[in-house]
Every structure is written in structure tokens, then in C-alpha cells.
Amino acid sequence: MGVEGTVPARPGKVIAVHLNYRSRAEQRGRIPASPSYFLKPSTSVARSGGQVERPAGTELLAFEGEIALVIGRQARRVRPEDGWSCVAGVTAANDFGVYDLRHADRGSNLRSKGGDGFTPLGPDLIPAADVDPAALRLRAWVNGELVQEDTTATLLFPFAQLVADLSQLITLEPGDVILTGTPAGASVVQPGDVVEVEVDVPHAEGSRTSGRLVTTVVEGTDPLRDYGAQPRVDDAQRIEAWGSAAAAGLAPEFTLTDELIEKINSVGTATLSAQLRKRGYNDVSVDGLATTRPGTRLVGRARTLRFVPYREDLFRAYGGGYNAQKQAFDALRPGEVLVIGARGERGTGTVGDILALRAQTRGAAGIVTDGGVRDLAAVAALDIPTYHAGAHPAVLGRRHVPWDVDVTVACGGAAVQPGDVIVGDDDGVLVIPPGLVDDVVAGAIEQEREETFIAEQVAKGEGVDGLYPMNDEWKARYAEWRANR
């Protein structure tokens, strides 16, 4: 099939990459170790200027502006250094998908992303020989407003690597199309919206552009029948489709603001612990740990890493390369705390100086592990506080296999979920469910105010009977004291 200078109307294969732009991966909170893919039917391909139908009865049709590679020659087991030579050209693509149907074919995305017209391509092909694959720009507009802009300099997996990887098992043929991922900014569109996508080479001499790929969203009229999966959405899907709770019109997600952090830092973990116990939470302390930074407060949202017990075959399969441990540290965002569930096993290191430095450079607030720490002196010299169960010189593979990230873990006897608020000081580390934070902190501030009053009275010679805790008489005197401050 000759494809030179043309965008194929009916490719033999359309292969799409799940995550490939760092901005999108960070938005989703995970950095993949290697590319993963799904297939889209060739019947989903459409031309510029056409329409895409939001199926009747569905709510969440999302666009994803992408760069499409059009294969120019047969590729089978090509090396990464030869991958780009197999590409005839690049063009704009839009990877539409219906989140309402993700549950139906989880992983394959067949119905959620395979509908007719769900893969517009074009309008023009930029010859691969004319461009540097690392110097392309992708932009997308909705109703004339720029909503996506990124460059291929930020790709996790370069185009040549994708071609080489796929060709290990799949023969790529002329006219096949690879959709190479979308950057941050993809979101939901409504009937009547006009979506445009363009690929170009900024600052290049001459015109190097795919032109604007234009698609209008329309409302479908034929409902999905009950002999197949029905649309199903919840708030979690809405947030993922829109990109945020605010964009989805939902109540704002819990945010650990600077103002809230200041309030948390105004009270000790001992006081916070007392307030949690008042609310029935008795097992939210991460026990048995020491800190590398005495006198330093720790406040942040939890990200999690789970180790499982060492087993030779499991470590061979999962312990090397870009394993879950490295992925967890690479995915940390400013203000987050990496909580490592190591089963209380102190007989090997779970973090060392290099990974602790990586967490610090990522802007993380701290590290909490109920396992050992290697290179303790070097870790302690960093600014980032690390709470740990003790020092140990051994490497990871002695007792642990890094297993998974962003799951509920057990750490120091406490259950920790991604997004929990982690608070630490010299007294220890607490885990506070986000929904309790405002109430617990307000109670802790009031408790410490009361204890300041009580301490003043004790300093004046008052006895503690009836004062600590306060009886009605002392409560009245406290109210007067507080009103006069």
C-alpha cells in the first residue's frame, strides 16, 4: 500500500498507547515502566470536517489530541535506532472515548474507544524525513480555546521505541497507524462542541503542519439496547474524564492548602491523636519509627508503595529494572509523602540516599517506612524528613520485593490509603482520613488553647482536681479568660 504523502482512510491496524506524555502521566499519578497499548477498529477512523456521535444515553465523551504515526514500510523486529525509518509521516489524531462504557471492556477499550468516527485523522501528512521526531508540537482546541499544548520532547517513550517495541511481536505494515498518547488537558466535550487538533514543527523553516483536524460533536439518537453493556458512570469516572472535580461540576476535592497546613502545624501530633481518639480512631499512628530530622514537622498527602516478602522467582521478575520502588519515587509530586509498607521488616533497606534525594528533588514532603534505611547518615543529611524503623546496610533484595504502588498499605500498624493526610513530629506519625482533617484540626486547636489556660492556672499554684479536665466552674472561668484574650 503506498502511503507517501497521504493519510490512510482505512488503516489495517490502529494501535494506541495508554500513557506517553509526562504531563498526562503525572496528572494520572503514575509513571509507566514501559509502554502499553490497545487496538482501535479501522472503522473508527474518520476524516477532518466530520462529526463524532456521543452515544444516546451517555454522558462522558472525552477527546484526546494525539500525534499519529503512519507506517511507511513493513516493520518486524526492528531495533529502536531503526524505528523512525519505518514511519512515512505524522498527522493529527483525536482519540475519542466514552467513559460510560469503560467498565464494559476494561483494558481493551473496545466499545469505549472503538465507535465509528472515534479516531479522526488528518487532514495532511507531514513527511517523517522532513522532521525531528523529538521536535514536534501537539495542540488541541475546543470551541476555539486552546486546551492542550505539549511537545514530543516530553515523551516517556520516543516514537522509534514504540515502533520497535510493537514490531517485536506484531508485523507493522504500510498504512498502519500508531496513536502515540495524549498530554494533559484532555477532557469531556458536549454535543455542539467543535474540537480541533494540529501537529506542527514550531520555529521550522517553511510550513510543517498537519493542518487543523476538525470534528464536531453531535448527540446520538439510537439508545444502546439491553442485549449489551449499558452506560454506567460514577463521580470517580466523572473526575477522571473531566480532569478534576471542579471541571466535572462536583464538590471540590479535599485540598491540603497552605492555610490548612499552617493550622496543622500549630498543634502537636499528641493533640491530634487525642482528637482522633475522641472520634473513635485508635489505630492511626505509625508506630516504632524514628526521624532523620528531629524538630522538623511533616505534613503531606500520602502516596504508597508496598513490598511483599522476598522470594527468588518474584524478585527476578519484579525486583530489577524500573521496578515499583523506582516508579513510586519518580511519580512523587510536591507536598506528597511516600509511605512504604514493609511489614515492619528491618533487616534490609527500603530506601537509600539516591532515592531519598530523588524524593527531595521532586518536592516531596517526606518519606515514611516501617522498614530499614540504607546510607542513614547521607539520608539524614538531606532536608527531607524520613521516618524509619532503623538503619541497615543490606540492599533491597534481601527481604523484600517491590510490588505495587498507590494501594492501601499497612505501615507501622496503621492502614494508609493514597490521599490520606500524614502528620509527623518528634512524637511520631499519624494518618488522618481527609474527611476528618478539618474537624480534627479545629478540635486540636481548641484543645491546645484549653491546655494553655490550664497550664497557666497550674503555674499559679492551682491543683489539677477539677481543672484537668475542667469542671463546670473552671469551664466558666476559661470562657471568661478566652473572651479577654
Question: Nine-digit cell at 101?
Answer: 462504557
Please indicate if the annotation marks 355 as binding a ligand: yes
The pair phi, psi for residue 427, each rounded to 5°, is -85, -15
Please indicate if the annotation marks 354 as binding a ligand: yes
User: At 43, is the secondary structure helix, strand, or coil?
Assistant: helix
Report the C-alpha gap between 185 and 189 in whole angstroms.
12
Please indicate if the annotation marks 352 as binding a ligand: yes
Side-chain-side CA neighbours of residue 205 (13 Å):
0
Q: Are 445 and 263 in contact (CB under 8 A)?
A: yes
Name the amino acid, one letter, at 183: P
Question: Nine-digit cell at 61?
Answer: 465523551
Please indicate if the annotation marks 235 as binding a ligand: no
Number of Cβ within 10 Å of residue 102's Cβ equals 20
Please indicate if the annotation marks 482 as binding a ligand: no
What is the sign of the dihedral through the CA atoms of 46, 47, 48 and 53?
Answer: negative
Question: Nine-digit cell at 92?
Answer: 493529527
Which uninterrupted H or E stretch holds 179? Answer: strand 177-179
Q: Are 340 and 422 in contact (CB under 8 A)?
A: no
Listed in sequence order, the residues at least 6 apart from 34 whose beta carbon sits closer than 8 Å to its beta carbon are 157, 165, 322
Please indicate if the annotation marks 353 as binding a ligand: yes
Strand partners for 222: none
- Catalogue the E-assigned strands of 278-427: 285-286, 290-291, 298-309, 336-341, 349-351, 366-369, 372-373, 386-388, 400-405, 409-411, 414-416, 421-425
Strand partners for 303: 338
Binding site feature residues for substrate: 352-355, 374
Q: Which residues are annotated as a binding site?
A: 352-355, 374-375
- Binding residues for Mg(2+), as ranges, are 375
